Structure 1
Amino acid sequence: MKIDLSEIKQVVRIALFFSILFTGTSLYAQSQKREMGKIIGYVKDTEGKIIQGATVYVLNTAYSTQVDKDGHYVLVVGSGDYEVMSSAVGFIGNKVKITVGKGENKYQQFVLKADPNTSIEQVVVEGKSAIQEVRETPFNVVALDAKSHYNTTLDLAHLLDKASGVKIRETGGLGSDMNITLNGFTGRNIRVFMDGVPMEGMGTAFQLNNIPVNMAERIEVYKGVVPIEFGADAMGGVINIVTNRTQNTTLDASYSYGSFNTHKSNVSLNHTFKSGVSLQLNAFQNYSDNNYKVKTDYRIFAKEGKPVTGDDDDIWQEGSAWSADSAWFRRFHDSYRNETIMAKVGIVGKKWADRMLLGLTLGQVHQDVQHGAEMRYVYGERTAHSKSFLPSFVYDKRNLIVEGLSVRVTGNYNYQKAGSVDTTDFKYSWTGDRRLMKDLRGQSNAFGEASYGLSEYSNSNQSGTVNIGYRINTGHSLAFNNVLSNYTRKPDMQRVADALFPSLPTAADSMSRTSFKNTLGLEYRYTYQRKWNTNIFAKHYTNRASGPGTHAETEETYKQKEEVSKTGYGIASTYFLRNLQLKASAEKAYRLPNDRELFGDELLEEGNVALKPEESNNYNIGFTFNKELSNDYSIYVDWSGYYRDTYNFIQTLLARIGDEVNGSSMYRRTNHGRVTRLGTDVEARVYYKNTGTIGATLTYMDIRDKVRFTDKDGKKENGNYKYRMANLPYFFWNADASYYVHDFLKKGNTLNLNYTLNFVDKIYKNSMAYGEKSTKAFIPKQFYSDFSATYILEDGKYNISFEARNLEDAMLYDNYSLQKPGRSFAVKLRYFFIKR
């Protein structure tokens, strides 16, 4: 392996900078320490029992802490007069006024009453929850409360779609391929984590659009600049799914049935013994025929110049043609089924470990494939399948050995066996007709057709994370993070050879694909009187990849190897006023190509081992305004603006294989040069008592192609220079309103009504410069609404929900005119039991 001395010197300089910074600030910190005081006490319920997970914080500041396993808390503050609040999930918050002198210890015990309306926590804005604590970091982050959506049929992806700046894009119905657009970045520019552990390599059985929302407590969305604890090369941002960590005994079971013969079921079980042994079990299942209607061009089979229908074993001499007009058809080969089970067992709440858990996830997927990257090329027998085996380990401990030292260690091994099958001798049309493919000699010609395919391969992904943080005092802390990951894909060519014949696999087919990544991060955090927080950090990225490549001149296949090493850095800062929080951040960031971009998916995407890392200068500003207007009303406003200047942008293109009529299509990725993004996100929400809420999110992005020339010599002008980038949504918003009818029909029962209005502006399918000349070159505006009604019985023990999505039956698309389902309905039954 090559050693780049310049990179090593740069890392040494960064480490030296942190050492000097630490020495200077430590001296200042010692002088400041004597000025601080403490608020000390316990948080209990009305029966004198400890409330696990309770939070104590000072209103209108960033002072906050959580109780330990004994219900005890210590809150270090500067001298002054404060309003101190304690809150916990399922309890009514309690607020007191306290005066703290220099170096004084104040003792305050909080007694919280149980909240009779626990099931509608989403409209309780008083009390600093984990979501509010995340929002108060110096990073541009929003947090979504998953608990308030437990009675819906939402999966994690469609809950995430409600966040400002986020757009979930799918290629069809349940189980279809999806990617995330966040602040103008899309796909693998955004990394997804579950409890801080990367989900990369977890397989199709465990992706966001099939995981039920009931598995999560909240979703954190970091836009642009990302904290080092994730160890991610994520230029666009990070999505962190925080699962339920309750130590209460809970059982959550649900089943739903909806349009297109869609079935979803989920069971979650949590129990912690007095000894500290914790058991967690989650199991879910999804199935759908996905037989909704679509409007598309279609193939007309022809023989001797005349259209023909039905099965015809005669020689197909003249191929097929496209219809003059598009028509409506029902999808007939698009069923999806997956089953997944997750189990965790370990120890919680010990002196030597806050959490130490071993986990195992098993999952499988089977799906029919209706079409490729364009709907016109329809498949009638192609299928895809996968099985996943995912053992994991996590260890967490705050105040390990010494006060202020926190350690987190995780390990994952993700193994996936997957493949696709399409060995039919027939080509299909949306009309339901199929034609046997033969050449003029009467021999089967299926093997030469672009739609033909058979693949079988195994993916293995190993990752490990070490995160060490040290809080020197209330004003200064340091953090170190390192993430290692290794990916290997091995084709199973023996199965392909057995199914077909030994000469079919090429050298590229049988070649293994490998990728090794290492991301190291260092961070210094400064806090001034809990009103001003600043993080300074640096990240070093390393990536080595190898896979099939082709010589340009000879077209011979060889094993191509690529290696990169980059260093990024940044700063994030926030300042608190009475009801206002200001934020700003900047970063020099890199994003390494992931395994799917490097090696494809063996189905609808081609790989490109030669992809270069994306490089971007990211700038963010924003504010959060949170104010109680009166005893009845509260308001929340979050605004952010951003600018991204990206080089070696990895663009997804649509590539045709074969001719216009008889070919197929796939996605292909390439580095595109320079792209800039200027955008804004805003979320506003008004709460009325414990009765209702109304709010909206809006996103606008101006994403421009800044590549002047398309050739190395600078002679060929780029026709799309300074125009919008294609296939990316740039303006979208949603507005929602919820209303709660308490004691509906019976005391303790609640009726929840929710309505959401959605809008997406037109999306150019191809370069905007050319798209303006054709009405068929863009996806039109989309306007649709959703409605849901939930009846909550016996304070949330029994729940019945009805949902109607896309009430207008609008034609909905995300990319390249792949149509999503129309109007649909669903009913969900849920049982929830909790023993505190």
Structure 2
Amino acid sequence: PGALVLLAAVVRAVAAAPAAAQPAGDGTEEAVELPPIDVVAAPEPAPAAAQNPSRFVETIDGEATREGTGSVADAVEDAAGVRVRRYGGLGSFATISIRGAAPSQVPVFLDGVPVADARSGVVSLDDLPAGELDRIEVYRGFAPAGLGEAGIGGALHLVTRGAPEDGGLRLGTGLLAGSFDTWRAWVSASGVAGTAGDAPVGLRLHVSHRRSAGDYRFLSDHGTPLEPADDEVLRRRNNDAAQTVASARLAVPLDAWRLDAALSLVAADQGLQGLDYDQAEAARLSGTDGRLRFSAAAPSLAGGLAALELGAFGAVRRDRFADPLGEIGVGRQLETDLGGGGGFWAMLRLFPGDGSHLVRLRLEASYETFRASYELPAAAEGPRQGRFVARLGGGYEVSLLDDELVLLADLRADVRGDDFSGDPYFPARPDAAVGETWDVLFSPSAGARWAPLPDLELRGNVGWFHRAPAFAELFGDRGTVVGNAGLRPESAVNLDLGPSWSARDAGTGLRVALDAAFFASFAEDLIVFVPQSQSVFRAENIGASRTLGLEASLRAGWEETVELEAAYTFQDARDTGDAPYWSGLRLPGRAPHDLSGRVALRRWGLELWYEIDWLSETPLDRANLRHVPGRVLHAAGLGYRLRAGDRTVAVTVEGRNLSDEWVYDAFRYPLPGRSVFASFAIDTGE
């Protein structure tokens, strides 16, 4: 770092110069030892930032999810530009929005493999296996070409810890307990399990279980927000959630190749509590999800001129929705959904010339299928739905002026085919005919990074992205949602521009990093569910929107003793569609202001921290007639970490919503009040 380090070095060298210049009294030269000069190198960028120099990306350490609640939603909600929408407490449905994009426009990846299925296109963050995460990468506005799918709102990438390639057995375990009968227990083991020829075989295993009753108090308005006289404090019912996760990771490093395999199983069960004024008593949702991934990577081929990665993946998921009393949907329902699929990818990177050029080529193909079966209100088999996707992407990156200027461009082409076998449950529906539809979508993007000073970078990006309709939008859902096979994909033009500045003083240990960005998104053909009758909806392309915003984040600290973090996002998201009664209004679920801050003090293994989160008033519906009130939440905690050789013991106590505010989120779902959690973790190994 730049000017601060250079100035410190010059001052120390000048102070030492007279002593070095004085000759010895006897005329002979005397060796004089100069005082040391501390030179602190610039911190290496995180892998995500290094591989995507022009993108605005934030990397979050996965330690909090491994040793805490195991919730991805908790880990990402304070990142700049990120808004987590929750439908209850821990373990409930939670989605992510980046820069105002809808949750369906933000693809989620687990170790490079897409998580969302074609059925809904939306991922619940608290359903993801988070116990063995190494890091979480948040891409704001632009998904990297290396992940394949180009999301309108960016991307969320979860990277799990790899299997070790050396060392002995390492064990870890822990327990968390807290409010609302919440607890989580986990155990992990890793080490070299054997050899394949001369190569070590690394293995990592993990099992965890999380459970919460979710029976917190909340203020209900009984569906009459304009009549405060009937407001009443109630306790959440049928809001329990449980999740069990098991995962295995295998790694075999060979001479030129590295083989990697991962298997994860997730089983979840939760009550569906309904709205605050009409709580459900018996509705439930349970599911199991299994995923397998295999990859082979050669980071240096042809004398370092090329790198190749090959991979394949498969997934199967079973969900069971039970509403025997008709409390959630229209009438009594008992439905079992079975889906699965798989695919492969190949990515080639070429480094021609002197290493200042990079060419990327990626080929990906996948197929997934889905089918529902019903027991209520009458036994029937639902239609079979399938989707084939072939994706070809290419990119070029060049570094100029001694890496001061980096230019890059990407082009992705998606070929999508949907097939529908007809609906025997509702054979008269217009979208129930057997047929196929094919579409080709192109997503170009370009970016630049300019570093006029060692500590300053300017970055900018522009791109055009798409989202294909989900099965529920194309083919409907048993008549409550009528399908529309003629839906067009959503599209958006995104752009962003902003600086990044950092500095560090080796003498004082002070460091600071500041990021800021202006962003804009202009979306068309937004898919909106339009009422056809009192209980029937149809998906149609009628929407358009314009989002303008600013985001900023600050990180500062003094050695390892003081840490300060702050993030702020402003966005003005407006409906620009053809409907005159909606045009110009704010998009629902997008808060204009979002501010979070955290300060931590560390000494002698202790860490004391305080967090604050402010969210402004948010419109609840497209007509802007109802709003979710703004909120200010406070949290604090104390942790102690003891290290003795290869053994670590960590104990943590934290409190959330300390002022016990009545808080509501998506669709006015109430969130927990004051809560306290305590945890301990032990990590030991050779």
TM-score (norm 1): 0.70
Mapped contact 1:201–1:414 kept (Cα < 8 A): no
| 1:157 CA displacement | 2.1
Equivalent residue for 2:664, pick from 794, 803, 813: 813
Give 1:802 deviation, angstroms: 0.5
The corresponding residue for 2:653 is 802
Give me the whole-angstrom Cα distance separating, in 1, the residues matched to 2:477 and 2:251. 35
Equivalent residue runs for 1:182-581 within 5 Å: 182-201=98-117, 208-211=125-128, 214-245=131-162, 246-247=164-165, 248-249=167-168, 250-272=170-192, 275-298=199-222, 325-348=230-253, 350-354=254-258, 356-371=259-274, 374-424=275-325, 450-472=330-352, 473-493=354-374, 496=375, 501-502=378-379, 505=380, 510-528=382-400, 529-547=402-420, 555-556=429-430, 558-559=432-433, 561-576=436-451, 577-581=453-457
**For 1:464 and 1:419, how far apart are their aligned partners in 2?**
29
Q: Kindly tell me: are residues 767 and 793 of structure 1, through their superposed partners in 2, closer, same or farther at Cα, counting changes over 3 Å?
A: same
- Identity rate, percent: 19
Q: How many residues align?
A: 632
1:410/1:464 contact within 8 Å kept: yes
Pair 1:587–1:520, CA change in 2 (3 A): same
1:237-296 deviation line (CA, Å, top 9, x unaligned)? 011112223545533321101111111122232213573211111222111111112322
The reply to whether residue 703 of structure 1 matches residue 573 of structure 2 is: yes
Structure 2 residue 534 is matched with structure 1 residue 637: no
After the TM superposition, which residues 728-743 of structure 1 pair with which residues of structure 2 at under 5 Å, given as runs? 728-742=590-604
Question: CA–CA distance in 2 between the matches of 1:729 and 1:646?
Answer: 18
8 Å Cα contact 1:756-1:786 kept in structure 2 = yes
Question: In 1, distance between residues paired with 2:468 and 2:115?
Answer: 16
Paired with 2:171 and 2:558, the residues of 1 have a C-alpha distance of 31
Structure 2: how far apart are the matches of 1:783 and 1:723?
25
The Cα shift of 1:468 comes to 1.0
Q: Deviations over 1:781-803 (max 9, x none)?
A: 11111111111123571111101
Residue 388 of structure 1 deviates from its aligned partner by: 2.1
* Residues 620-668 of structure 1, C-alpha deviations (whole Å, 9 max, x = no match): 111111101452211110111111111112346799965xxxxxxx997
Matched AA of 2:546: T
Residue in 1 aligned with 2:523?
646
Give distance in 1, aligned partners of 2:126 and 2:532: 26
In 2, the alpha carbon distance for the partners of 1:803 and 1:667 equals: 44
Map of 1:617 onto structure 2? 493
2-structure distance, mates of 1:818, 1:620: 33
Of residues 564, 586, 590, the one that matches 1:724 is 586
Partner secondary structure for residue 279 of structure 2:
coil
- 1:748-783 CA distance string (max 9 Å, x none): xx1111110001111111235x52xxxxx1111111
Moved over 6 A (4+): 202-206, 600-607, 652-656
Asked if the contact 1:134–1:143 (Cα under 8 Å) also holds between the matched residues in 2, the reply is: no
Whether the aligned pair in 2 keeps the contact of 1:457 and 1:490 (CA below 8 Å) is: yes
**For 2:396 and 2:338, how far apart are their aligned partners in 1?**
41
Amino acid across the alignment from 1:678: L
Q: Are positions 1:677 and 2:547 aligned together?
A: yes
In structure 2, C-alpha distance between the alignment counterparts of 1:691 and 1:760, rounded to whole Å? 29
Give secondary structure in 2 for the equivalent of 1:159. helix
Match of 1:757 in 2: 612
Is the 1:395–1:409 Cα contact (8 Å) retained in structure 2? yes
Worse-matched range after superposition: 197-206 or 687-696? 197-206
User: 2: CA distance between counterparts of 1:655 and 1:763?
Assistant: 27
> 1:462 touches 1:487 (CA, 8 Å); kept in 2?
yes
Deviation at 1:392, TM superposition (A): 1.9
CA–CA distance in structure 1, aligned partners of residues 534 and 591 of structure 2 = 27
Aligned partners of 1:606 and 1:763: how far apart in 2?
Answer: 29
Deviation per residue, 1:438-485 (Å, 9 max, x gap): xxxxxxxxxxx9241110120112132211111113211211112222
Alpha-carbon distance change, 218 to 395 in structure 1, aligned in 2, over 3 angstroms: same
Point out where structure 1 has 5 or more consecutive residues left out of the alignment. Answer: 1-58, 62-82, 84-123, 301-321, 429-448, 659-665, 711-717, 743-749, 772-776
Instruction: Give, as a single letter, the amino acid of the residue that structure 2 aligns with 1:533.
Output: V
What does the per-residue CA deviation read over 1:710-751, in whole Å, with 9 as the maximum and x for residues that have no partner? Answer: 3xxxxxxx1221221123223111011000022xxxxxxx11
Please tell me the residue identity of whatever aligns with 1:331: R
SS in structure 2 opposite 1:157? helix
Q: Is the 8 A contact 1:251 1:268 kept in 2?
A: yes
SS at match of 2:588: coil
Q: State the shift of 1:368 in Å.
A: 1.7
Contact 2:243–2:267 under 8 Å retained in 1: yes
User: Are 1:593 and 2:469 an aligned pair?
Assistant: yes
Rounded Cα–Cα distance in structure 1 between residues aligned with 2:481 and 2:270: 17
Q: Structure 2: which amino acid aligns with 1:789?
A: L
Conserved? CA contact 1:171–1:819, under 8 Å: yes
| 8 Å contact from structure 2 (residues 388, 416) kept in 1 | yes
Match of 1:140 in 2: 56
Q: Return the alpha-carbon distance in structure 1 between the equivalents of residues 602 and 614 of structure 2.
A: 25
Q: Is the 8 A contact 1:455 1:602 kept in 2?
A: no
Task: Please give the alpha-carbon distance, in whole angstroms, between the structure 1 residues aligned to 2:284 and 2:543.
Answer: 36
CA shift at 1:128, angstroms? 1.6
Rounded Cα–Cα distance in structure 1 between residues aligned with 2:643 and 2:482: 53
Matches of 2:129 and 2:114 in 1, distance apart? Answer: 18
Farther off after superposition, 753-762 or 515-524 = 515-524
Q: Are residues 557 and 603 of structure 1, via their aligned partners in 2, closer, same or farther at CA, if it must alter by over 3 Å? A: closer
Find the aligned partners of 1:206 and 1:299 in 2 and give their Cα distance. Answer: 28
Please tell me whether the aligned partners of residues 233 and 541 of structure 1 are also in contact (alpha carbons under 8 angstroms): no
In the TM superposition, residue 165 of structure 1 has moved relative to its aligned partner by 0.5
Q: Is the 8 A contact 1:649 1:673 kept in 2?
A: yes
Measure the CA separation in 1 of the matches of 2:305 and 2:78: 36
Relative to 1, partners in 2 of residues 1:580 and 1:606: Cα closer, same or farther, differing over 3 Å? farther
1:332 maps to amino acid = R
Paired residue type of 2:191 = H
- Structure 2 residue runs of 5 or longer lacking an equivalent are 4-8, 10-39
User: What's the CA shift string for 1:558-600, capped at 9, x where partnerless?
Assistant: 2364332121212111012211011011112222234565467
Q: Output the amino acid matched with 2:520.
A: Y
